[in-house]
Every structure is written in structure tokens, then in C-alpha cells.
Amino acid sequence: MKIINMPSFGADMAKGEVAHWNVKAGDTVKKGDIIASIETMKGLIDMEVFDDGTIEKLLVDEGIELSVGQPIAEFRLANEPSLDNTAQAAVSHAPEKQQPEKKQPETETSERPEFAAQPVIKIPIIQKSETFSGEANTAKISPAARQKAKELGIDWRLITHGQGPDGAIVLADIERTASAEPNKHGINDPMRQAIAAVVSRSKQQIPHYYLQLDMVVDGAQHWLTKHNQSLPSEQRILLNAIIYTAIAHALKSFPEFNGFYLDGKFAAAESVHLGNVINLRQGGLVVAAIHNAESLGCEQMMIKLKDQVIRAREGGLRMSEMQDATVTVSNLGERGCDTIQSIIFSPQVAIIGIGRQRTVPWVVDSNVTSASIVSITLAADHRVSDGHSGARLLNKINQLLQKPERLICTRNHSKNRSAN
Amino acid sequence: MIIDNTKPHIDKAHLHQLLKQMLRIRRFEEKCAQLYTQEKIRGFLHLYIGEEAIAVGVMKSLTKDDAVLATFREHGHALARGLEMNKVMAEMYGKVTGSSRGRGGSMHIFDSDLRFYGGNAIVAGALPLAVGLALADKMQNKQNVTVCFFGEGAVAEGEFHESLNLAKLWQLPILFVCENNGYAMGTALEISESEQHIYKKAQSYGLDVRQVNGMNVVDVESVAKHYCDAIRQGAGPCLLECTTYRFRGHSMFDTQLYRSADDVKKWKDKGPIVKLKNWLQANNELSPHELQQIESDVAKEVDSAVAFAEQSAFEDESDLCLGVYTEGKI
Amino acid sequence: MNTDIQNNDNKTTETLTYREAMRLAIQESMVADERVFLVGEDVGNYGGCYAVSKGLSEQFGPQRIIDAPLSEAGFVGAGVGAAIGGMRPIVEVMTVNFSLLALDQIVNNAATLRHMSGGQLSIPLVIRMATGAGKQLAAQHSHSFENWYAHVPGIKVLAPATVADARYMLSMALADPDPVVIFEHVMLYNNSEPMPTTDDCADMHKAQVRKTGSQISLITYGGSLGKTLEAAAILEQQGICAEVIDLRCLRPLDTATVFASVNKTKRVLVVDEGWRTGSLAGEICALVAEHCFWSLDAPPKRQCSIEVPIPYPRHLEQAVLPKVEQIVESAMELVTNGQAMS
């Protein structure tokens, strides 16, 4: 026995209705006979029966709307034995049953040979660009994120890995950074957090001792004036450069102030990567390393300092500059403090503070006169050095400061340290 | 039905063959109708029921090197041309074993080996192709005929006129066969053409034309042969207007509001299979046993084609983009 | 090379015009392969609407240089049929404006038959069309529909912009087993360049960098190449180094070349004579946005025609089409991000 379903007459026919049955239960029909009129959205269409047989039972009344495929009648094929209580499973017409589609190897061999034999070549419609190799360390940032970062005064380069493809920085990264620590002044939060972490650790773990030496800079200043006279403004050296150079050179002889204290041990660094504290306009600071500072002369130091400050303020410091400092110099001179007692940046073991240049009464050969001085302070890790070495270091710096001419093109005067 | 016995090839065996060919098409189409109501065949389905004599009659005069174009109502033409019923049924199902890998469906049956070029769904869209195929044959000095089947609805399209003009202008070996069944979808010829005699339009372009009763397979065969012979000998393009009738709607989803049931019945009674069968039987050229054998063979072939289609696989989705261009060869 | 070239337009053989180049290309192909023939309106006795086929009818005869009646659907469809039947037709549609009458044959047959037949049918057809505006031919004779054709899978679309490309792309198209539509911009026919060699014409599928640059990629095709190069020269004087890419093949697009350029310069301006909405320039900008987003420093921009039917009077026609000054201005804006140049 087979089921006759609501037929589909077209691809856009979803429903139909038996408007009128032409047969009733028990009627014998022949293939092609019209057994019903089906109402569709286009109008009435005759429904034929495709086999000879008998209508066993009508399953729906006229006028009921059904979906295509729903049963509407039971039908016994002419060559079927009469219906008894056992269900008739075998039906001669294969298409009436819902046969699962299976792949048959025999079927495939009857296809054209070229379909089977040709290797499949797929044409890529879009050719992907070769992997874009931009400049090394150029982070990717979306235009929206870049804009937001600018609005909020956030240096997006401090975000090492964004959520976008290949770590590209997207808007969400900027928003997350901004909301981490809401601050009305727009201070750079990850930076503030980083500084906080470092100085807290330093203050807690490092036994600081502090030394100060006031150094007369008249001589250096005098030399400087003469040196700068004949030079165009962009080549002129500032006193700071001389002081930094002196510090760097002095440190060569005092390895206990230049290196890292880690895991209970101190390891002296091979070179002096002088960390220069740069204050940022929007608040916060960054320590930028001047690599191999001990091999630089004043003019080179001057160039590096200038360049570094510009780049730091534009967010253009390199990773190595931000990571490699072996000792730090802190300089608040122009802001008008006489001395600075700094906190060491762990895991470094020393930090040198430079006060402002000021004129004070000074005793020379029992006579009171005036002198231009700079107070240089040393904060150092007492686990690694003691006051005695610290004092010697400061005195060495002072010594070098009094002979600035020796700090020019210093490779010629190096004390056999390997120039890098 | 009058059969002119002076024409060649009119013998019992031949007539039985004609009958069988028409029955193959008829039973195939009926099966497709059934499968369509069961949603095994989707999209559009345009049945050739009633018009079988034309495809069968014309195809008899063609060689394997001739080219054939037809419309979206082309299942009968495909079968008459020699495509395997398995492949055509599988194509209806959309299976990869179909003549077009299942990609075309009912309206796009192709077989380049048999020079069967569709299967064209745009009315009159195949006529310019016919012009081109015939032009290529002529340029290559081949003696082939290009046969282009189309319905009378196509004569309203510009491409019909352009193609006939080009065909005659360039003296191309084309046999245009117009299957005039009186209706372009639901529009009767009377309300769409100012000049309803199709052959006259072709005549105005200079083509040799004939009108023939499309329900008489022997007449169709005879005229087609005459024309094909002439065309092979350089007669230029000809048009054969076959008067016929489709017993079903334009497609399956057709309420046929545009014609009366009486009209349909009248034509059914003079249908091509009925006509030939009755004549054979009246002349004792077809015994019940012989008829039964023919029907049984056809039924077997149809059932086997359905089974083949049912069991075949669909084309792998990953092959979707193959065959757009030659580089992505299938 | 055939010495019977009818080269009456030129005094010497050291330069070649675009039209001569195309004529040579057709001639050479017809000599090399007897399956090649040319069919189109007025290609024979008239010598071609743009004089491309001048003299060819005398050389090859009316059986191979076929004058077609005004039946675009008819003779383009015939081209498709002839290609299926084993020939290598070149169908010339006088202009893209008339090709609208043949869209059915191009889209429903030429582009579709291969895939729809399950890979059985090959249509090695070349269709050539004149395209574009600039000659005050008014609205019905000035269309740019390269984008319509480039939209359709199954055909390839070329836009030779140089004399070298006009000379050598045709034979590549004829050798291609798939249907190829070649667009010849009407303003290019008189252009003259030194006699090209095959080295001057890359594979037809590749875009070409016509000028290298670093600050912005100017991407264009066909009739707009000249203006774009002019704009690039002006930009150079202003200190902006622009890169100019000639697409040459509009389907399939040589995205590799485009992306490499934009990733390098980080800015892109597409110059396209079509109307902006639904333009090919829009497609390229979308591709750039999808694939070069992370490199971009400015939004992708387009310089297209104003969306009106092309008017007849010169000043209005010129106002509609992309102008050199506009290309310069748009490029500058992109490079300076809208700020004044320092």
C-alpha cells in the first residue's frame, strides 16, 4: 500500500488544498486518471494518479490547506495483494520510497572518463597578497583605535599585543587601557602602573643608602661657552651632556653600580647602558637607555639625549631603549630642585640624581667667593656596594667634570674598554 | 492519417521504431511529472507530451555530425538524439552523473559528443547559436546540418528575425524547426502575432519553407529528410513549421486557464502516438503482444533510469567553482 | 611579420598608433590561424568604424572579414556558436553602447555555457568593443560598462591602455580557450608610441606598474591611464611620489599587484570613468579594505564620473569625466591627511 501525498506543481508551491475529490474510497483508477482538483495560489490544477490501482482511503477532507508532501490518500497498486493486517513493506516503484542516496562505485565508472581522470585544479579568484613584511616592530593599529588613542592621549605603542589579527591594536584595546584606571588628567595608565610596581618593589627590597657631592661646574661651563661659540646652534652642547658623559665614563671604573641584582646575586653589566629618565608632557615618565654610554663623547651624548627626548615624547622609542638600562640618571635640574633622592629602578643597583645648576657662596683657599655648582646624589643598593665606593664614584665624576675637554671624542682617550 | 507509401523506409520495422521512440519520450515525460509532484525534480519542468512526433521525425534524418539545438522543452529531443535515458534522468534529479553534471537540470541538457547543444532557457536564445554553429561548419567545409528547434513564441523575439536574416544572408546549412503548439506559455498565437503563419515570416527572409502536420511522425520524417538532403547539397537555410499541441501545461505549475479542456481533449484524440498506433493496428502491423513488448521495454528503461538517478551522488560542493573557466577544468 | 601591412596612417615605422596596433594584431592572428575571422558591423567595406580593420577586407576577403547587419544579438550569438563549432571568431561590437542588445548572448550563453553544461562546451571567443566618452557623442554613445562585464563569471575582461597592449593582448585573448571581452577606449585610438615589442606586453592577466612610487597608489585602467600618469607627474613636482598601476585585466583582477602596491604606499585612489555607484573602482576599494586594512593610513578613495547621462557639450562632458586636477587634488588630500603640506 502506498501513500499519495499533496503534490508539488512548482518550485514556489508550498501549500495546496484538495478543492474537490473526483474519487472515493474503493474506486478503481487507471494511470492518468484525474483523482482530485488541487487549489493552488495560481488556481486549480488537476491531480493525476500515476499507477493503476484502487483508492483505499481518503485521508483529508476537501477545503483543508496542507503543505506539499503531506499524505492525502492511501492507494493500493493493481498488482499488490489485498491489504491484510501485516504491513506491506515491499513496493515495486523505487521512487515512491525515500531511498537514501549512496555513492556507488559502478555509477561513477559510467561517467565520462575526463571527469574522473583530470586532476582537480582550483582557480583562486582572489590572490592573497604575499605576507606583508612591514618595518620590524611596526605595530598594526586600526584607524579607529589610532583616533581614540589620540583623543585620550594614550601612547598605543605601549600596548604590546592587541586583540586584532596578528596582534593588531583595535578600538577595544584602547578603551580597555583607558578604563583600567580612569584618570581625569589622561595620565598613561599602564605606564603609571608599571612605574608603581617597580618603585614599590625597589623601596621594599633594596636597602638604599644616599650620598651627595656638590660639584663646581664653573670650569665646565667656561669651557662649554668657548666650545659652543663657533658652532651652529644645533651642534651646541649643554652642560647636562657633559655631566651625563662624565657619569657614564666614571661608571666604567665602578662596576658595582652598573648591573642587575637578581635572585640574590649581583651581575655587573659589560657596558654602561645609561638610563635617562624622560618626563612626558601628559604625565608619567619613561627611562630610555643610551647604549654603551661609556664610549660616547659629549657631542655624541648631546645628540642622543636630544633625539631620545623627542622620540620618547612622540612615542617612538625602541623596545631595546626601554628595556636595556643598566643604571639610571635622574635629572630635575631645570625644574629647580637642588638635590634629588631617587628610588632605584629594580633590578638596577644605583641611580644618580642631578640637581639644578645654582650659584652659591663657596670657600676657596679660606676666601668666600661664589661658585656655580650642581649637587649630584647617588642612591645605591647596600647589598652590592657601600658608602666608601659610592663616595669614590662621586669624586670620580667630579674629577671628570673638571676636565670636560677630555670628554670630547672619547674613543681616543678610552681606558681600554672595548668600544661598541 | 495518410501515409504515402512511395516514401522510403516506411516498413513495419521502421514504424515500430518510430512508435517506440515516441513512447520512450512519452513515458519518460510522464515519469518526470510524477517525480516532480514528489519534489524529486525541482525548478521548472516543461513536458513534451503530445509533440513527440517532431523530435522523433526530424532526428531520423540527422547524422552524428549534425548539430542540434532545442529549447527548455528538450527532454524528448535529447532522447531522440541519442542521449542515454539514465543521464537525462540523472540530470533532472541534479545528480553528478547527469548529462551536465546535474548543474543544468531540466532546461539545460547538453551533450557535446552527440552535438546536442541544449537545453536553452531563453526563448529564441539558441537561434543565433545555430547561426554560429552552421557558419563554423560552412567555413570548415563540412556537410553538416544544424537543426534548431523552437516554439512559435520565439518568433516574437528579435533574435528570431536576426538569425533568419543572417542564416539566409550567409547561406547557412540550418534547418529551423518551428514547433507551433499554439501557445507561448499562456498566450495564444492569435493574440501575439499580427501574422500567424510562421512560415510566411521565414519566407519573407527568403528561406525555403514548408508546413507539416506535427502529429504525423511519418510526414515529419519525410519532409525533414527532404530538407536535410537539400541543405547538405547547399540549398541554404529552410524552415519547417510543424503544427502540434502540448497536452500538458506550459510547465507543471500551470492552471491552463487560457484554453478549454475540450480543446485539449480534441487534440489528444489526434495525438501522434494514438494516430500511429491506430493506423498500425488497423493495418495489422502491430499485435497486442508487440505493443505490450514495446511498452514493457520502455517501462524497464524508464524504471532503470529512475533507479540510476536515485542512486547517483550529487556533485561535491567543493567542485562548485570548477568549469567556470578552462583552468578550473572539471 | 607580414610586409603587406596597410600602414597609411604612419609616415615611418618607428611609431605605432593604438588603432594600427590593433589592426596588426588582427591581421597577424588571421594569417597565423585560418580559424580566426572577424565579424561585425562595417568591419569590411567601411574599414571599421574606428578604422581598425581598414584594408583587411581586401587582404582576407569577405568570407573572413564579415560585414554583419545591425543584429548585435544575432552576430554575437553567432560568434558564440561558431566558437563552439571550432572556429576562433573575433566579434567586433561597434561600441559597448550597442552591446546592450547582445547582453543575452554574452551573459546567458558565452559566459554560462561551459559551467552549465558541466564543462562540456568551450567558447574560445573574443569580443572587441569600443568604449568610453570624450568625443561629445552624448548619452547613448558614451557608456563605460566594463564593470558590468567584469561582474560576470565565465568571461574574461581586458582593457588595453597602451599601444603595446593593443598590439599583443589580442593574440593572448585568442589563445585563451574562454570568452574574452576587450575594451578599447575611443580616446586611445590615435595615441602613438614607439614600435612595441612583445617584451612591452606582459601576460594579459597581469596588472602593470606604469610608474613606481611610495606615497600613494593610483589604480586605473583603459582610457583613464593617460590622465592618471599626468596627475602623477604633477604630484611629483609637488613632492608627492605616486605609484600608478594599470590594471589591464579587469576580470580576473590582478589583486596581488594591487595589494603589494597599497601595502607599500598605504594610500589608494582608484580612477575609473564609470559612474561611481556600483563601479569597478568600488570593487577595488572593497578589496583593498578587506585585504590591506591594517596597512592603510587613509581611507580608499575613488575618482569616478559624475552620475548623470553623459551630456553633449564639451564643457559639460568634461565636467562629468574624471579630471587630472581632481586626481591630483584627491591624491594630495589623501597623502597629507587633509592637512596643508608643510
Taking residue A113's Cβ as centre, other Cβ atoms within 10 Å add up to 8
Q: Choosing among B49, B310, B316, B320, which should be mutated to test the A contact, i.e. which has the most A CBs within 10 A?
A: B310
pLDDT at C131: 97
pLDDT, average across residues B239-243: 97
pLDDT, average across residues B253-259: 88
pLDDT value at A100 more than 60: no
Q: Specify the fold of C15-200.
A: Rossmann fold (3.40.50)
Give the chain C residue nearest B160 (alpha carbons). C74
Instruction: State whether residue C277 is helix, strand or coil.
Output: coil
B195's grid cell: 501574422
Instruction: Delimit the domains of chain C by residue range.
Output: 15-200, 208-335
The shortest C-alpha distance from A116 to chain C (Å) reads 13
pLDDT at A324: 86
pLDDT value at A73 more than 80: yes
- Calpha distance C182→C166 (Å, rounded): 10
- Calpha distance B14→B26 (Å, rounded): 18
CB B76 within 8 A of CB B244: no
Give chain B's radius of gyration (CA, Å). 19
What is the residue type of B273? I
Q: Do C105 and B128 touch (CB under 8 A)?
A: yes
pLDDT at A233: 85
ipTM here: 0.89
Over chain A, what is the mean pLDDT?
81
CA distances from A301 to A280, A333, C51 (A): 20, 17, 74
Q: Is the CB of residue C177 less than 8 Å away from at least one CB of chain A?
A: no
The shortest C-alpha distance from C87 to chain B (Å) reads 6
Q: Which residues of B touch C90 (CB under 8 A)?
A: none
Where does chain C have alpha helices with state H?
18-32, 56-60, 72-84, 96-99, 103, 113-116, 146-150, 163-175, 225-237, 255-265, 280-291, 314-320, 324-335
Over chain C, what is the mean pLDDT?
94
A134's grid cell: 612591514
List the chains bordering chain C where 3 or more Cβ pairs fall under 8 Å: A, B
pLDDT, average across residues C290-312: 93
pLDDT at A2: 92
Same fold, C15-200 and C208-335: yes
- Calpha distance B48→B51 (Å, rounded): 6
pLDDT at A160: 78
CB C328 within 8 A of CB C234: yes
Instruction: Please enumerate in sequence order all residues whose Cβ is within 8 A of that of B329, keeping only pairs 6 or more positions apart, or say none.
Output: A118, A121, B322, B323, C119
| Longest distance between any two alpha carbons in chain B, whole Å | 60
- Calpha distance B183→B50 (Å, rounded): 13
pLDDT value at A104 more than 50: no
pLDDT value at B315 more than 70: yes
- Calpha distance B92→B108 (Å, rounded): 9
List the chains bordering chain A where 3 or more Cβ pairs fall under 8 Å: B, C
pLDDT, average across residues B278-303: 97
Q: Which residues of A touch C294 (CB under 8 A)?
A: 132, 140, 142, 164-166, 168
Q: Which residues of B touch A47 (CB under 8 A)?
A: 37
Q: Model confidence at C338, in pLDDT bands (50, 70, 90)? A: low
Q: Does domain A143-180 have CATH number 3.30.450?
A: no
Going by C-alpha positions, the residue among A263, A261, A258, A262 that lies closest to residue A289 is: A258
pLDDT at A182: 53
Q: Do B100 and C118 touch (CB under 8 A)?
A: yes
pLDDT value at B130 more than 50: yes
Give the helix, strand, coil percentages of chain A, each rounded to 5. Answer: 35, 25, 40
Question: Considering CB atoms only, which of A123, A125, A129 is closest to C259?
Answer: A129
Q: Do B38 and A5 touch (CB under 8 A)?
A: yes
A288's grid cell: 630610555
Instruction: Please enumerate in sequence order all residues whose Cβ is within 8 A of that of B326, keeping only pairs 6 or more positions apart, or say none.
Output: C114, C122, C176, C177, C178
pLDDT value at A136 more than 70: no
CB B319 within 8 A of CB A106: no
Taking residue A295's Cβ as centre, other Cβ atoms within 10 Å add up to 19
CA distances from A100 to A93, A103, A233, B97 (A): 15, 10, 89, 16
pLDDT, average across residues B155-165: 97
Range name among A112-121, B248-257, C38-47, C238-247 with the lowest pLDDT average:
A112-121
Backbone torsions φ then ψ of B301, nearest 5 degrees: -65, -40
Taking residue A169's Cβ as centre, other Cβ atoms within 10 Å add up to 24
Residues paired with C192 in a beta bridge: C17
Range name among A5-19, B77-91, C82-96, C271-285 with the lowest pLDDT average:
A5-19
Q: Are strands B187-188 and B183-184 parallel, antiparallel or unpaired?
A: antiparallel
The shortest C-alpha distance from C221 to chain B (Å) reads 23
Q: Model confidence at C9, in pLDDT bands (50, 70, 90)? A: low
Share of chain C above pLDDT 70, in %: 95
Torsion sign across C-alpha atoms C245, C246, C247, C249 = negative
Give the chain A residue nearest B27 (alpha carbons). A50
B32's grid cell: 518526470
Q: Do A7 and B308 touch (CB under 8 A)?
A: no
Overall CATH class of domain C208-335: alpha beta
pLDDT at C341: 43
Q: Model confidence at A107, in pLDDT bands (50, 70, 90)? A: very low
- Calpha distance C23→C10 (Å, rounded): 13
pLDDT value at A95 more than 80: no
pLDDT at C220: 98
pLDDT, average across residues C66-84: 97
pLDDT at B254: 87
pLDDT, average across residues A152-172: 82
Give the chain B residue nearest A71 (alpha carbons). B38
Q: Which residue has the cell 490518500?
A: A73
The superfamily in CATH containing domain A204-413 is: Chloramphenicol acetyltransferase-like domain (3.30.559.10)
C72 is catalytic: yes
Backbone torsions φ then ψ of A131, nearest 5 degrees: -50, 125
Q: Model confidence at A103, in pLDDT bands (50, 70, 90)? A: very low
Residue range B39-72, pLDDT digits in tens: 999 999 999 999 999 999 999 999 999 999 999 9
pLDDT at B8: 54
Going by C-alpha positions, the residue among A403, A399, A416 that lies closest to residue A295 is: A416
Q: Do B253 and A42 touch (CB under 8 A)?
A: yes
Residue range A310-333, pLDDT digits in tens: 887 777 777 777 778 999 999 876
List the chains bordering chain B where 3 or more Cβ pairs fall under 8 Å: A, C
pLDDT, average across residues C97-104: 96
What is the residue type of C259? F
- Calpha distance C90→C175 (Å, rounded): 12
Cα angle at A334 between A332 and A337, to 5 degrees?
55
B78's grid cell: 535529447
A190's grid cell: 599602564
Q: Do C121 and B110 touch (CB under 8 A)?
A: yes
Q: Are strands B67-69 and B146-151 parallel, antiparallel or unpaired?
A: parallel
Q: Which residues of A touch B319 (CB under 8 A)?
A: 120
Q: Does a cis peptide bond (omega within 30 degrees of 0) precede residue A43?
A: no
Torsion sign across C-alpha atoms A167, A170, A176, A182 = positive
CA distances from C290 to C255, C257, C297, C300 (A): 12, 15, 14, 11
Q: Do A45 and B253 touch (CB under 8 A)?
A: yes
Taking residue A103's Cβ as centre, other Cβ atoms within 10 Å add up to 11
Q: Is the CB of residue C287 less than 8 Å away from at least one CB of chain A?
A: yes
Q: One of C20, C72, C92, C146 is an active-site residue; which one? A: C72
Q: Specify the fold of A1-79.
A: OB fold (Dihydrolipoamide Acetyltransferase, E2P) (2.40.50)
Give the chain C residue nearest B97 (alpha carbons). C118
pLDDT, average across residues B201-221: 97
Q: Which residue has the cell 570548477?
A: B322
Instruction: State whether residue B48 is helix, strand or coil.
Output: coil
Where does B205-315 have alpha helices with state H?
217-232, 261-269, 272-282, 288-311
CA distances from B159 to B153, B162, B257, C74, C75 (A): 12, 5, 29, 6, 10
Higher model confidence: residue A268 or residue A194? A268
C115 is catalytic: no
Q: Do B103 and C114 touch (CB under 8 A)?
A: no
pLDDT value at B303 more than 80: yes
Going by C-alpha positions, the residue among A352, A227, C231, A9 that lies closest to residue B43 is: A9
The shortest C-alpha distance from A108 to chain B (Å) reads 7
Instruction: State whether residue A206 is helix, strand or coil.
Output: coil
Which CATH number does B12-310 carry? 3.40.50.970
Give chain C's radius of gyration (CA, Å). 20
pLDDT value at A59 more than 80: yes
Taking residue C275's Cβ as centre, other Cβ atoms within 10 Å add up to 20
Instruction: Delimit the domains of chain A by residue range.
Output: 1-79, 143-180, 204-413
Q: Do B325 and C69 touch (CB under 8 A)?
A: no
